């Protein structure tokens, strides 16, 4: 079974990614980062979630802010707790006594060639781990991120939140040389939980009802702020290549992060041109392809697959 480590900022869709990974993959750890709220809150939320799901999975707390020191939180969409909309249980454990950066390195060393790292919050922990241990990229089977977009952004007209929070960190990840998958807003916004889906969850067991409450809150915030009609399941999409690979299609192409201070800061520049000849005078090529970029999704089957994991949580977890 594929081993995966989730680096996250729960977060409604992060919470869903933790459950989805635990249902279908070998989840070896959860590391936390600032993003949807402060790192203290996202860590507390991660601990509550592993408690709710009864997971025997270590949680390691990570960075409180980005490499450039200018912190931004996503409370606008995820509420004061970072996961408003349902009451989660008090954590039955504490975060382990190791920083997320060291835990990521340790897990990659322990599971050389087997571990997929899934950053689904700002990429600061992962960038610092890559900087601290230059062999890390070669130890990983891959890095599968939720972040960026090939079309419009959500935090600026062109930048997606996880990248926008720490573009310098994203740049380190995209230049790391590790096999890379990127699923961005162009795909994840199609993976939307509807009002009817929320009702289906609300009619389920205790875990399903908690997720129903979370999606209801998130859907309403996305409606108010972005005019969307569904709750986007951004973060679980990063796991799809290892669970139901046929549901998201990817294209291998060059991706660079815009680091300037202007309006394009944080943009994921994806070279979707299909240049057929080498050097031309006026047509500039980018570097070689470094990333599999998500370009298409079977959205309804994917939402149903994620909802099934939530509704059948007890059955699935007992079988594992």
Give the active site residues: 234
234 binds ligand BDR (CB under 6 A): yes
Q: Which is nearer to ligand BDR, 111 or 118 (by Cβ)? A: 118
161 binds ligand BDR (CB under 6 A): yes
Among 19, 108, 120, 136, binds ligand BDR (CB under 6 A): 120
Q: Are 8 and 33 spatial neighbours (Cβ–Cβ below 8 Å)?
A: yes
Question: Omega into 132 within 30° of 0, i.e. cis?
Answer: no
Residues 6+ apart with CB under 8 A from 308: none
DSSP state of 185: H
HSE-up of residue 124 (Cα within 13 Å, Cβ side):
28
- Residue 146, beta-bridge partner list: 183
Q: Least distance from C-beta 14 to ligand BDR, angstroms?
A: 5
Site map (CB under 6 A) of ligand BDR, residues 18-37, x = contact: ------------------x-
Q: Which is nearer to ligand BDR, 84 or 106 (by Cβ)? A: 84
Q: Among all chains, which residue has been given the structure tokens 């952004």?
A: 153
Scored b (16 or more CB within 10 A) or e, 236-274 reads: bbbbbbbbeeebbebeebbbbbbeeeeeebbbbebbeee
Interface segment toward ligand BDR; rule CB under 6 A; list 62-70, 159-167, 203-211, 274-282: 159-167
Q: Which is nearer to Ca ion, 74 or 212 (by Cβ)? A: 74
120 binds Ca ion (CB under 5 A): yes
14 binds Ca ion (CB under 5 A): yes
Among 32, 43, 81, 162, binds ligand BDR (CB under 6 A): 162
Interface segment toward Ca ion; rule CB under 5 A; list 50-58, 88-96, 117-125, 203-211: 117-125
Give 16-58 as a DSSP string: HHHHHHHHHSEEEEEEE-SSSS-HHHHHHHHHHHHHHHT----
Largest Cα separation within the chain, whole Å, is: 63
Interface segment toward ligand BDR; rule CB under 6 A; list 8-16, 102-110, 209-217, 241-249: 8-16
Binding site for ligand BDR (CB under 6 A): 11, 13-14, 36, 74, 77, 120-121, 146, 154, 160-162, 234-235
């Amino acid at each position: 079974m594929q081993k995966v480590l989730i680096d996250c900022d729960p977060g409604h869709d992060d919470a869903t990614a933790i459950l989805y990974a635990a249902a279908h993959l070998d989840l070896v750890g959860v590391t936390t980062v600032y993003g949807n709220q402060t790192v203290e809150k996202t860590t507390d939320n991660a601990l509550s979630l592993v408690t709710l799901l009864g997971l025997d999975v270590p949680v390691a707390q990570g960075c409180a802010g980005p490499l450039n020191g200018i912190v931004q939180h996503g409370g606008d969409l995820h509420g004061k707790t970072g996961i408003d909309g349902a009451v989660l249980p008090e954590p039955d454990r504490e975060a382990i006594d190791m920083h997320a950066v060291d835990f990521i390195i340790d897990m990659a060393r322990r599971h050389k060639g087997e571990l997929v790292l899934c950053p689904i919050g700002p990429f600061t922990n992962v960038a610092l781990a890559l900087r601290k241990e230059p062999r890390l990229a070669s130890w990983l089977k891959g890095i599968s991120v939720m972040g960026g977009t090939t079309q419009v952004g959500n935090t600026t007209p062109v930048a997606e939140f996880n990248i926008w929070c720490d573009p310098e960190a994203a740049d380190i990840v995209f230049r790391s040389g590790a096999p890379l998958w990127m699923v961005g807003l162009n795909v994840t916004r199609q993976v939307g939980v509807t009002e009817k889906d929320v009702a289906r969850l609300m009619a389920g067991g205790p875990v399903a009802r908690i997720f129903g409450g979370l999606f209801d809150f998130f859907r309403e915030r996305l409606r108010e702020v972005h005019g969307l009609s569904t709750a986007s399941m951004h973060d679980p999409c990063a796991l799809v290549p290892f669970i139901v690979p046929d549901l998201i299609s990817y294209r291998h192409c060059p991706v660079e992060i815009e680091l300037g201070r202007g309006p394009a800061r944080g943009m994921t520049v994806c070279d979707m041109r299909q240049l057929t000849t080498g050097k031309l005078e006026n047509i500039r090529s980018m570097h070689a392809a470094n990333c599999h970029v998500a370009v298409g999704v079977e959205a309804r089957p994917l939402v149903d697959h994620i909802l099934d994991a939530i509704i059948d949580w007890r059955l699935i977890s007992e079988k594992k």
